[in-house]
Amino acid sequence: MKKHRGKPVVPITDANIDSYSEEHTTPESDEIVHLMKSSDAQLQYIDMLSGRLVGQLLKILIQISGAKRILEIGTFTGYSAIMMAEALPEDGEVVTLEMNLKYQEIAQKHFNESEVGSKISLIKGNAQQTIDELEGKFDLVYLDGDKLRYHFYFEKVLPKLKKGGLIIADNVLWDGTVLNPEDQKAKAIADFNKFVSEDDRVEQVLLPIRDGVNVIRKL
């Protein structure tokens, strides 16, 4: 991995604990390792990739919840979409939304080459609009793009989520800046976390894994 989003990294957990946790977490498949190398070769930054801890957490949540239909907001180069598709049964589906043309092209190539690519549908365009075109219910939503609008997507996806379904929101600690939010993204994410914690339509656990993962369950 090359760099972090161009801003200082505030470690949430001890770096040695992070490394130890990664070393003792199931490694990515060969296909995902190839995707990481291919993404790294084509892009300046690939730190937007969800990474092993979050990827493997998603896989386990999919398997234990029996999720079959998944919505992802924020595809990037396809890391989490392929990880999630690997955890799905043969008739499972990941619908993933991405607006950046370059990322769409790289992700689609990865999906075309993937053994689980037939389970993945990439919807191109701004998720703020494309989300309204989606039909049917989802079992799990992975919220990982357009950080300023997590609350907007939460309201959009809640009616599309089955009772007992999960919304997994990544980067909810935003490098720890939610404690004392100063910039727009930190404020938006802190407001989102507060809103969710007070919303009686859901229950949730905010896990301090990597950059923070909020596991939210629709009641």
**Between the CA of residue 149 and those of 17, 80, 102, what are the distances in Å?**
31, 20, 22
Complex with ligand SAM: residue 145 or 212, whichever CB lies closer: 145
3-state secondary structure of 76: coil
Complex with ligand SAM: residue 76 or 138, whichever CB lies closer: 76
Complex with ligand SAM: residue 104 or 193, whichever CB lies closer: 104
Which tokens in the block code for residue 199?
Answer: 């919303």
Do the bridges between strand 213-218 and strand 202-207 make them parallel or antiparallel, or are there none, so unpaired?
A: antiparallel
In the complex, the smallest distance separating the C-beta of residue 161 from ligand SAM, rounded to whole angstroms, is 18
Complex with ligand SAM: residue 107 or 190, whichever CB lies closer: 107
Q: How far apart are CA 69 and CA 88, in angstroms?
A: 8
* Residue of closest CB approach to ligand SAM: 145
For residue 148, give the nearest of 185, 173, 177 by alpha carbon. Answer: 185
The packing angle between helices 51-65 and 15-23, to 10°, is 50
In the complex, the smallest distance separating the C-beta of residue 1 from ligand SAM, rounded to whole angstroms, is 12
In the complex, the smallest distance separating the C-beta of residue 66 from ligand SAM, rounded to whole angstroms, is 22
In the complex, the smallest distance separating the C-beta of residue 81 from ligand SAM, rounded to whole angstroms, is 7
In the complex, the smallest distance separating the C-beta of residue 50 from ligand SAM, rounded to whole angstroms, is 3
In the complex, the smallest distance separating the C-beta of residue 129 from ligand SAM, rounded to whole angstroms, is 8
> DSSP secondary structure string, 128-195?
HHHGGG--S-EEEEEE-S-GGGHHHHHHHHGGGEEEEEEEEEE-TTGGGGGGS--SHHHHHHHHHHHH
Complex with ligand SAM: residue 61 or 127, whichever CB lies closer: 127
Complex with ligand SAM: residue 145 or 165, whichever CB lies closer: 145
Q: Please give the residue ranges that form the binding site for ligand SAM (CB under 6 A).
A: 48-50, 74-77, 79-80, 97-100, 103, 126-128, 144-146
Q: What is the dihedral of CA 145, 45, 103, 69, to 10 degrees?
A: -40
